[in-house]
Structure 1
């Protein structure tokens, strides 16, 4: 798929501008609320924001799938503008609580729709990059809003600050109406992996049946404690150690901006090196930095720790979202992201309850528990197999072997025996090249730090595929043995059978390639290979019966019939090898999609 084509670049720009503008309006509250409210008065608006946002996000994925990304985002921004207007006119704890019911709901609709839209535009292959990019603009917007809040409040008034929360989402609405186009149809670009449409209960049942995904949901919920702790506890802490409101906005904004800027970098890296280690290490380091922040006593060290926390926290945020995409079929992507974001953002409520007591240590302890859950339960959904490119290259050579053998048959049908022998020599060269690559793969497999079971799976996969070249060379030897007595009608049917094998090889190539995108996609394609092998087996039985009938009638001699039957069996054996290889791929997938 080619992202940014056909106007997709403008749609991507509009999506990112919208979430950044709305994020900046929310970022204002990161400074305003903790600077003016304490205790329950501070907790209630945060709880209202988190609960409304999370509940809306659970269904917003369905809305994004059913009515489209554009309509869903516009409805969300309209709700947000209403909440911002209410906050401007009622800047009390009660008014902020009511306003945040609308603000949270509006942001939930917008952010989910835009997350799905950006994922549509970039595709599943770059899931973490796509989600990291969207989240980066959203949370960098939070940071810009926090910095602006400090500056505007210091140089103007609270009304000036709150008016910005109305202006920014209004500008986002104009951007969506004038620049953003629907992206739902782009999911067809992944039709290779697409299954039948599924209902909401089926989608949620499928997702919650996967231990890795349910653990990711719990982990995302607990990870929100870091964000909530910084929102509620950092500004009062900074004011206690002597910072004015401008400094508070700057430090809070730095945490959010660095968090946002780091996300696409971490997301892109996780698409290449895997999800699990990055998530677990990010959560563990975040827990340690929170404890350190609670003990800081000077503005400089608090600012540096906050910056480090932003960078570290940004490593798990888009990667957990990408894990939800990895484990979800494309046709349920909006539902998956909606459920994930809803449960994650309900962590605002949990966090607000915990931090009302001013407890950094408790939030840090729960974040550390989340890291341990990832280590113990979550499977790696984007494994970094260091030899995977070589495996793909090896099978590409085996596929070329099939093509070369097809040309041997075509030359024999044309009576061009010299051409057939030349193609056979080409086949031998390819088979030797395949052997060379296989030896390199084996060296990489057994020198890699992967678990023993994974190494054995790939060894069996490559050994099975490597048999293709040898089977084709043996088939040529048998054909050349009976060359003077070879009837053209048998060559036609053998060629027809081999063309089906070629189609099966193409299916398996898609299957193997999908393994580098997402194991759940590769799992979907293993069934296609099995069906293709069944068709080839039926062709083999019919052709063997015909050969036996011709031998019984005396049309061909017994030796020729035996050699032809062996040729047919060898070609069918290649189909068996491809099916067996696909079964091994299935086993590899099961290990990473549970």
Structure 2
């Protein structure tokens, strides 16, 4: 225990490895990002917006539940073991998508993908927080989320390109086979567990422990619950963009390659931006970054239905990515700062439970609204909810985050 040192510099080898592993995790989502609505319609004749978005609903719910139990089990089973289990669950997914005989099997594949993402992504998040200590926590989260979402964007671009050249199946899914197998091997051979780092930090940390982690993170604690609602709305609009933006672009007669570019700009800017915004959250107001990030997202989404040119839509996608980059690492560094090391994994898991349920809520709300009123109304509704979320941050979340025990 005495030879364990917290810090990014002291643990750069393990940290770098976890960044690489999380890039592989993100790439598994990027595999579906730009092609799935067309995959649904061409391969299975699924045309209803609600039905198409059902795969996001299945993904979101399963990932959310896996996030929560990753947080609950991290101290008992071990972060590395949960990461390995997540990779094992991911490996069959691309094979199932290639050979799926019907849409129900596709939904099952996305349930597996959601469980895998919850276990793998949550594990890498918690392990990086464990390693770096308080000083560089925001920067660490920025690097983690950069790796994951930059990979989402890059893989989304390549799957769009491959689908445009060779068809929506099977070739785009070969990327997923490579990512899942290599990710598992990297974890098995080189990744080490980080529970000892938690014990080390717990010896000096004075943050007040929460009485009920789930209730405080969800409802009662003004900092944690404000962040949690914003996380839910962030992924609610992300689920809508994932499902409806390719449909809008198809309706505007863009080809698969152009759709791949526009849909890739958003997560790519989101990913690269976090290299800077994560570090910013260590030095600037977390509340301010969360407010402006959510507001930028809402405004960008609001103008999507009123745009038809490639350049304007690409610009809105970039603004949306920048707004998301401001909030994403800040969510996690705020949760980590506001909770004690012993409770951090469970609080992060609770936050990620609600955040990723946003995928399901976004898919359901936007799918039903799109089928009843049209895609444009669904997008405007999501934009309004995102702007309201920014106002909750502004008026409910306190500026001081850390609560210190009275000695």
TM-score (norm 2): 0.89
Q: Which residue of the other structure, out of 25, 28, 36, is the alignment partner of 2:28?
A: 25
1:172 is displaced (CA, Å) by 0.6
Find out whether 1:169 has 2:180 as its counterpart.
yes
Aligned to 2:43: none
Q: Which residue of the other structure, out of 216, 222, 237, is the alignment partner of 2:227?
A: 216
**Deviation digits for residues 324-358 of structure 1 (CA, Å, limit 9, x no counterpart):** 11211111111011110111000011100122112
Q: Is the 8 A contact 1:229 1:351 kept in 2?
A: yes
Find out whether 1:107 has 2:126 as its counterpart.
no
**Deviation digits for residues 185-231 of structure 1 (CA, Å, limit 9, x no counterpart):** 112442344479989x8433454531221222122111212211221
Structure 1 ranges of 4+ moved more than 3 A? 191-199, 205-209
Q: Distance in 1 between matches of 2:8 and 2:207?
A: 27
Aligned to 2:351: 340
1:362 is displaced (CA, Å) by 0.2
Q: Is the 8 A contact 1:293 1:302 kept in 2?
A: yes
Aligned to 2:170: 159
1:92 is displaced (CA, Å) by 4.4
Q: Distance in 2 between matches of 1:197 and 1:11?
A: 29
Aligned to 2:259: 248
Find out whether 1:369 has 2:388 as its counterpart.
yes
Alignment of 1:456-535 (within 5 A): 519-520=402-403, 523-524=404-405, 526-527=406-407
Find out whether 1:314 has 2:325 as its counterpart.
yes
Q: Which residue of the other structure, out of 157, 168, 182, is the alignment partner of 1:147?
A: 157
Q: Is the 8 A contact 2:6 2:197 kept in 1?
A: no
Aligned to 1:45: 55
Change (3 A) 1:186 1:197: farther
Alignment of 1:385-396 (within 5 A): none
Q: Is the 8 A contact 1:70 1:180 kept in 2?
A: yes
Find out whether 1:284 has 2:299 as its counterpart.
no
Structure with the greater alpha carbon radius of gyration: 1
In structure 1, runs of 5+ residues without a counterpart are 383-518, 528-594
Change (3 A) 1:315 1:91: farther
Aligned to 2:82: 72
User: What secondary structure sits across from 1:181 in the alignment?
Assistant: coil
Q: CA RMSD in A?
A: 2.1
1:2 is displaced (CA, Å) by 5.3
Aligned to 1:349: 360
1:5 is displaced (CA, Å) by 5.7
User: What secondary structure sits across from 2:308 in the alignment?
Assistant: coil
Q: Distance in 2 between matches of 1:15 and 1:119?
A: 11
1:126 is displaced (CA, Å) by 2.4
- Aligned residue pair count: 386
1:147 is displaced (CA, Å) by 0.6
Aligned to 1:3: 7
Alignment of 1:561-580 (within 5 A): none
Aligned to 2:68: 58
1:56 is displaced (CA, Å) by 1.1
Q: Is the 8 A contact 2:33 2:242 kept in 1?
A: yes
Aligned to 1:380: 399
Change (3 A) 1:169 1:301: same
Q: Distance in 2 between matches of 1:91 and 1:338?
A: 34
Q: Is the 8 A contact 1:140 1:256 kept in 2?
A: yes
TM-score (norm 1): 0.62
Change (3 A) 1:197 1:106: farther
Q: Which residue of the other structure, out of 131, 139, 150, is the alignment partner of 1:121?
A: 131
Q: Is the 8 A contact 2:58 2:114 kept in 1?
A: yes
Aligned to 2:237: 226
1:319 is displaced (CA, Å) by 0.9
In structure 2, runs of 5+ residues without a counterpart are 41-46
Q: Distance in 1 between matches of 2:301 and 2:101?
A: 30
Aligned to 1:512: none
